[in-house]
Amino acid sequence: MSSNRGTDESSDWLKIFIIALILALIIRKFFFSPIIVDGPSMQPTLYDRDQMIVNKFIYYVKDPDRFDIVIFHASEEKDFIKRVIGLPGEHVMVKDNILYINGEKVDQPFLHHNENTPIVYPIITNDFTLEMLPGHHNVIPEGYVLVLGDNRSNSTDSRSIGLISIDQIVGKTNLVYWPFERMHLVKE
């Protein structure tokens, strides 16, 4: 009788393990997954090798907002992490390091030094207008966003690859969980 009880207990643990594994895979595939920042394109906000959590579900219930940090498929092999700057229906321009949306000046507080940015350096964005970018649009079409890296002088972003389809976006991220001393929520 005791060997039967042991077999039942082992079977129960195996079922629990399989259910937990399936739930973990579902959560990682459809809801949340980790990502590692690769390169300096998001400095001073994010640094090379920062580890973050990606919320894959959020854009099923709402559209991206200005200044969201998003992960998107830049190619079949590579995902990029950038900041949403321009939204559908908007005109974007940068002149003398000032961002203009539909002709109105827009502050970018994330580009300034804060307690999580150990390095202070000038943010230089070469002047551009939406019309100068690949696609030569007058306004951002529906279903697309304009993204830029925070390190404007060292970022492959919409200035060179064009507007990003919202369908390319994997999710939003704002939680740095590693390295431990940099653990924080990124403010937009």
What are 111-169's pLDDT values in tens digits?
765 555 555 556 677 888 899 889 889 999 999 999 999 888 888 899 989 999 999 99
pLDDT digits (tens, 9 = 90+) for 19-51: 777 777 766 666 767 888 888 888 888 888 899
Rounded Cα distance, 85 and 15, in Å: 47
The helix/strand/coil state of 46 is coil
Whether residue 20 is found in the same domain as residue 47: no
The catalytic residues are: 41, 82
pLDDT mean across residues, the chain: 83
Peptide bond into 179 cis (omega under 30): yes
Q: Which of 81, 83, 85 is nearest to 35 (CA)?
A: 81
pLDDT at residue 116, rounded to an integer: 52
Rounded Cα distance, 95 and 105, in Å: 10
How many domains are there within the chain?
Answer: 2
Whether residue 78 is found in the same domain as residue 163: yes
Range of the domain at 16: 1-30
Whether residue 16 is found in the same domain as residue 69: no
Whether residue 49 is found in the same domain as residue 2: no
Whether residue 58 is found in the same domain as residue 84: yes
> Angle at the Cα of 9 (from 8 to 13), degrees rounded to 5?
115
Whether residue 171 is found in the same domain as residue 112: yes
Asked if 147 contacts 137 with a C-beta cutoff of 8 angstroms, the reply is no
